[in-house]
Amino acid sequence: MKPKLSDVAKEAGVSPTTVSRVINNHGYLSAQTKQNVFDAMEKLHYQPNSLARSLKGKKTRIIGLIFPGITNPFFSELIEKLEKSLFLQGYKVILCNSADDVKKERDYLRMLLANQVDGIITGAHNLGIDEYQNTNLPIISFDRRYADKIPTISSDNLQGGVLATQTLYDAGARHIYFMGNPNQKGNPTDKRLQGYRQQIEALGLGSHVHPIYFDETPMIKQASIRRLLEKGQADGIVCADDLTAILVLQVAAMLKIKVPESLKVIGYDGTDFIRTYFPDLTTIVQPLDDIVMMLVKMLMHRIDNDEQLIDEEDFVLPISLYRGTTI
Amino acid sequence: MKPKLSDVAKEAGVSPTTVSRVINNHGYLSAQTKQNVFDAMEKLHYQPNSLARSLKGKKTRIIGLIFPGITNPFFSELIEKLEKSLFLQGYKVILCNSADDVKKERDYLRMLLANQVDGIITGAHNLGIDEYQNTNLPIISFDRRYADKIPTISSDNLQGGVLATQTLYDAGARHIYFMGNPNQKGNPTDKRLQGYRQQIEALGLGSHVHPIYFDETPMIKQASIRRLLEKGQADGIVCADDLTAILVLQVAAMLKIKVPESLKVIGYDGTDFIRTYFPDLTTIVQPLDDIVMMLVKMLMHRIDNDEQLIDEEDFVLPISLYRGTTI
DNA sequence: TTGTAGGCGTTATCAT
DNA sequence: ATGATAACGCCTACAA
């Protein structure tokens, strides 16, 4: 059996209380006793049981992370940075892949609650408001609008849409398409399209949206992109994410469409990964480090200050442009 | 406060025991009582406390995942698939990023033990044997040799090295370099280099290893690759992973070295991501789905059958070749 | 400086 | 068919 506190106590010849005190560095202990207890712990390979500890009211120091996937470089970088940052604060992370599946997200949310996590950071986006609303747990959301109780961090998607469009225009494109999810569900990312529309209008151009959905396989996206490019009307494309932009470049190469001469392409996200392995791609860069810092900071704040949200309004971080050769 | 079992009991007008019975579907309950309890649970938004439950000896249904990072597509796909598979079996996942940091890995291992996880799947690779050895927890490792008690799953790295080398040879390369970590620490991945060496010898060629380390930044790798390519001696390169291969292609383009005419390149891993977004890259494909299935299957087996490892020897899965245009 | 007792929320055992 | 009771491993008053 696993050694428990009382085993250590017996081994060290003291009471369980004393051992607990040593572990938690509580109150006054004689150096000798401390040493005895440490030796006993060492000898028995003792590990305190976090469960029992948390049951007694202590925090679990576990944060739940709910995201729609981890293979997209944007999410893998975001999650890796979050994990890193939280680890430094002494937190572990339970990773929940909502996989764009409402049921799975709900299941996970329940599990996290059942496991008494200290807080949740979520970037998933299916659930009805109430499930999240119904808990008093500190929750911070990235790029998703859940409920008034839950602060949202995002980067400036509107400005991103504007900047992408303007950048294409400045480079000479006049038939600028937007490629991404046309559904407007009220999430911050919807603003990329809004920014596009807004700027298109300001420039006196025509607005064209080519729908590409998050849950389509790359093959399907590719076929869809091909249909668009074959028409040969677009000379500029604002892609709602970098991976889509890469598919556009692939299809363009396949169709022998010259980039950027005949077609200019701009992506969105600008992760380290993409900038390193697809340095050609011009893209709107989200400030990942700042996003992570804000998410963690606000979460920590909510955890430490039991008072409800104070001036916790939504927080929008500025984006920037990375210039590759596709424009 | 959060409702507890006894609150539900009070609400439903029964004893806590009965509520527990309903929740766990234990013994005989009248349909009426059941209904009452369910209603009460619903009404109070009751969530059983997993901690208390686990403290009472129940499993936590949490699996720890220890990997050296998640941004490499190979790991992100592996982890995503593991999470998916484990979720289907009713397990949650605590994600631990060892970040190639011995201390962090040890910390995480301790935390996992403290949190009474039901098992661990690890693909990290720093720790001394003893820490893992010292526990009776079911642990399965991917591509890392820890200890005799811990079964290792891997794909056929030796054959991968052989196949990569032979493929380059068949395409006409005669000055074939290996690019990757030259240190042999006894891990399965070392065999990629061994396979290369073995085949080089069989072919009567000279063996050349250009060292690239896992923890180098892409910039550094690139500079290092550049130094090699500028010498112009290599006409074929076996890369120990796909990302390195992509850097090689970048540098080759920069130096105006024609691929595959003057230089043939083959990568290693062959994730869906790379095959989709870098379809040109010829690469050795690891059977990720099979790897995941084996990892999960063996872990479940170890968890369910308390008996110690039976014939749990290491398990090696076959690799395959994906043909792009870089050879 | 150290020990004793009770309880955190749940479940298993024994009654009824 | 349902309840009372005693654990699970730890922590925190309260004593001594």
Percent of chain B with pLDDT over 70: 96
Question: DSSP alpha helices (H): ranges in chain A?
Answer: 5-12, 16-24, 31-44, 50-55, 73-88, 102-114, 129-133, 157-170, 190-202, 218-231, 242-254, 272-277, 288-304
Average pLDDT over residues B157-161: 98
**Residue B99: pLDDT band with limits 50, 70, 90:** confident
B115·A73 Cβ contact <8 A: no
Average pLDDT over residues A96-100: 90
- Provide, in whole angstroms, the distance separating residue B17's CA from nucleotide C15's C1': 13
What secondary structure, in 3-state letters, does chain B show? CCCCHHHHHHHHCCCHHHHHHHHHCCCCCCHHHHHHHHHHHHHHCCCCCHHHHHHCCCCCCEEEEEECCCCCHHHHHHHHHHHHHHHHCCCEEEEEECCCCHHHHHHHHHHHHHCCCCEEEECCCCCCHHHHHCCCCCEEEECCCCCCCCCEEEECHHHHHHHHHHHHHHCCCCCEEEEECCCCCCCCCHHHHHHHHHHHHHCCCCCEEEECCCCCCHHHHHHHHHHHHHHCCCCEEEECCHHHHHHHHHHHHHCCCCCCCCCEEEEEECCHHHHHHCCCCCEEECCHHHHHHHHHHHHHHHHHCCCCCCCCCCEEECCEEECCCCC
Whether residues B294 and B150 share a domain: the answer is: yes
Q: Which two tokens stand for residue B201?
A: 């010898």
Asked if B1 has any chain A CB less than 8 Å from its own CB, the reply is no
Identify from A95, A134, A251, A281 which residue to disrupt to test chain B contact, counting B C-beta atoms within 10 A and taking the largest count. A95
How far, in Å, CA of B162 to CA of B142, rounded?
A: 21
Q: Sheet harboring A236-239: ordered strands across?
A: A208-211, A176-180, A236-239, A264-269, A282-285, A320-322
Interface of B with A in 35-74 (CB under 8 A): 45, 47-52, 54-55, 60, 62, 65, 69-71, 73
Q: Is the pLDDT of residue A118 over 60?
A: yes
Whether residues A121 and A38 share a domain: the answer is: no
- Provide, in whole angstroms, the distance separating residue A292's CA from nucleotide C7's C1': 39
Asked if A254 has any chain B CB less than 8 Å from its own CB, the reply is no
Q: What is the DSSP letter of A241?
A: S
pLDDT of B306: 64
Q: Is the pLDDT of residue B161 over 60?
A: yes
pLDDT of A261: 97
Whether residues B202 and B105 share a domain: the answer is: no
Average pLDDT over residues B235-242: 98
pLDDT of B318: 98
pLDDT of B312: 61
Q: Is the pLDDT of residue A307 over 70?
A: no
Interface of A with B in 94-123 (CB under 8 A): 94-97, 99, 104, 108, 110-111, 113-116
Whether residues A213 and A128 share a domain: the answer is: no
Average pLDDT over residues B39-54: 92
**Residue B144: pLDDT band with limits 50, 70, 90:** confident
Average pLDDT over residues B15-40: 90
Whether residues A77 and A123 share a domain: the answer is: yes
- Provide, in whole angstroms, the distance separating residue B217's CA from nucleotide D13's C1': 54
pLDDT of B78: 98
pLDDT of B180: 96
Average pLDDT over residues A274-285: 98
Average pLDDT over residues B203-217: 95
Q: Is the pLDDT of residue A32 over 70?
A: yes
B70·A80 Cβ contact <8 A: yes
Interface of B with A in 172-231 (CB under 8 A): 218
Q: Terminal CA-to-CA distance of chain A, rounded, Å?
A: 65
Q: Do the domain assignments include residue A325?
A: no
Number of domains in chain A: 3
Whether residues A141 and A261 share a domain: the answer is: no
Q: Do the domain assignments include residue A322?
A: no
pLDDT of A311: 56
Q: Is the pLDDT of residue B311 over 70?
A: no
**CATH for A226:** 3.40.50.2300
Radius of gyration of chain A from its Cα atoms, rounded to whole angstroms: 25
Token look-up 């939504």 returns A314
Domain housing B299: 62-154+288-317
**Residue A127: pLDDT band with limits 50, 70, 90:** low
Whether residues A80 and A133 share a domain: the answer is: yes
Which range, of A132-136, A210-214, B202-206, B275-279, averages the lowest pLDDT?
A: A132-136
Which nucleotide in the DNA or RNA is closest to residue A15, CA to C1'? Answer: C3
Q: Do the domain assignments include residue A27?
A: yes
How far, in Å, CA of B159 to CA of B138, rounded?
A: 29
Whether residues B169 and B148 share a domain: the answer is: no
* CA atoms B255, B256, B258, B259: torsion sign: positive
pLDDT of A275: 98
Q: Which two tokens stand for residue B92?
A: 């949650």
Does the C-beta of B14 come within 7 A of strand C? no
Q: Is the pLDDT of residue B73 over 70?
A: yes
How far, in Å, CA of B274 to CA of B76, rounded?
A: 12
**Residue B128: pLDDT band with limits 50, 70, 90:** low
Residue A198 near residue A169, CB atoms below 8 Å: no
Q: Terminal CA-to-CA distance of chain B, rounded, Å?
A: 65
How far, in Å, CA of A253 to CA of B121, rounded?
A: 41
Asked if B25 has any chain A CB less than 8 Å from its own CB, the reply is no
For the stretch A162-188, pLDDT in tens is 999 999 999 999 999 999 999 888 888
pLDDT of B313: 72
Q: Do the domain assignments include residue B215?
A: yes
Identify from A45, A46, A71, A137 which residue to disrupt to test chain B contact, counting B C-beta atoms within 10 A and taking the largest count. A71
Q: Which two tokens stand for residue A97?
A: 């892949």
How far, in Å, CA of B50 to CA of B69, rounded?
A: 29
AA letter at B121:
I
Q: Is the pLDDT of residue B95 over 70?
A: yes
Phi, psi of B168 (to 5 degrees): -65, -45
**Residue B141: pLDDT band with limits 50, 70, 90:** very high
Does the C-beta of B26 come within 7 A of strand C? yes
Whether residues A92 and A75 share a domain: the answer is: yes
pLDDT of A310: 54
Whether residues B171 and B279 share a domain: the answer is: yes
* Cα dihedral A6/A8/A14/A15 (nearest 10): -20
**Residue A18: pLDDT band with limits 50, 70, 90:** very high
CA atoms within 13 A on the CB side of B35: 3
How far, in Å, CA of A103 to CA of B321, rounded?
A: 38
Asked if B3 has any chain A CB less than 8 Å from its own CB, the reply is no
**CATH for B18:** 1.10.260.40
Most confident by average pLDDT, A112-126, B53-67, B239-253, B309-323:
B239-253
pLDDT of B82: 98
Whether residues B136 and B162 share a domain: the answer is: no
Q: Do the domain assignments include residue A57?
A: no
**Residue A92: pLDDT band with limits 50, 70, 90:** very high
CA distances from A326 to A163, A199, B276 (A): 15, 20, 20
Q: Is the pLDDT of residue A195 over 70?
A: yes
Token look-up 């009460």 returns B40
Most confident by average pLDDT, A197-201, B13-17, B141-145:
A197-201
Report the chain B residue with the minimal C-alpha distance to residue A67.
B80
Q: Is the pLDDT of residue A265 over 80?
A: yes
* Summary mean pLDDT of chain B: 92
Q: Do the domain assignments include residue A54?
A: no
Q: Do the domain assignments include residue B177?
A: yes
Instruction: Say how far residue B21 (Cα) sits from the centre of its chain.
Output: 39
What's the angle, vertex CA B314, arms to CA B311 and CA B320, rounded to 5? 135
* Summary mean pLDDT of chain A: 92
Asked if B92 has any chain A CB less than 8 Å from its own CB, the reply is yes
Q: Which residue has the higher pLDDT, B194 or A36?
A: B194
Whether residues B176 and B278 share a domain: the answer is: yes
pLDDT of A169: 98
Q: Do the domain assignments include residue A109?
A: yes
Nearest to A71 among B73, B97, B108 (CB): B73
How far, in Å, CA of B175 to CA of A69, rounded?
A: 41
